[in-house]
Amino acid sequence: MRVPKTITIGTHTYRITFDPYLILDKGKRGNINHRTQWITIDPSLSGSVKNTTLVHEVLHIIQEVYSVSLGEGDTDRIAEGIAEMLAGFGITFDWSDIEHLKGFRLNSRPFTR
């Protein structure tokens, strides 16, 4: 399955991009910004961790849009379960369409969003 550049939940469309400094700068594998409607994932993650991280961030969109209250631990566990189910179905994620944050150039900082 190709990971899309955008995902729409309800009437809200979020862009998906790679942030190569996410773990280094924020200590996070993924991040979601509801104000800018942007999901960022660290591209250095292994495939399975990247996939689970995307599912985790999408669950945060679902929580925001549909007013669902889950703790971070619950979100982690549900994301692991969904990612495990998809892998068990033989569904693989193709990340080739996902771009790095705008303005990113290897060995140059800072970059702009």
User: Which residue has better confidence, 98 or 104?
Assistant: 98
pLDDT confidence of residue 107: 46
Give the percent of the chain with pLDDT over 90.
86
| Ordered domains of the chain (ranges, CATH) | 6-88 (3.30.2010)
The model's confidence at residue 103, banded by pLDDT at 50, 70 and 90, is low
Q: Is the pLDDT of residue 96 over 90?
A: yes
Q: Is the pLDDT of residue 106 over 80?
A: no
pLDDT confidence of residue 104: 53
d(CA 64, CA 9): 10
The reported pTM is 0.87
Mean pLDDT of the chain: 91
> Nearest Cα to 102, choosing from 1, 31, 15?
15
The model's confidence at residue 101, banded by pLDDT at 50, 70 and 90, is confident
Say whether 38 sits in a helix, a strand or coil. strand
Q: Is the pLDDT of residue 12 over 90?
A: yes
d(CA 19, CA 85): 26
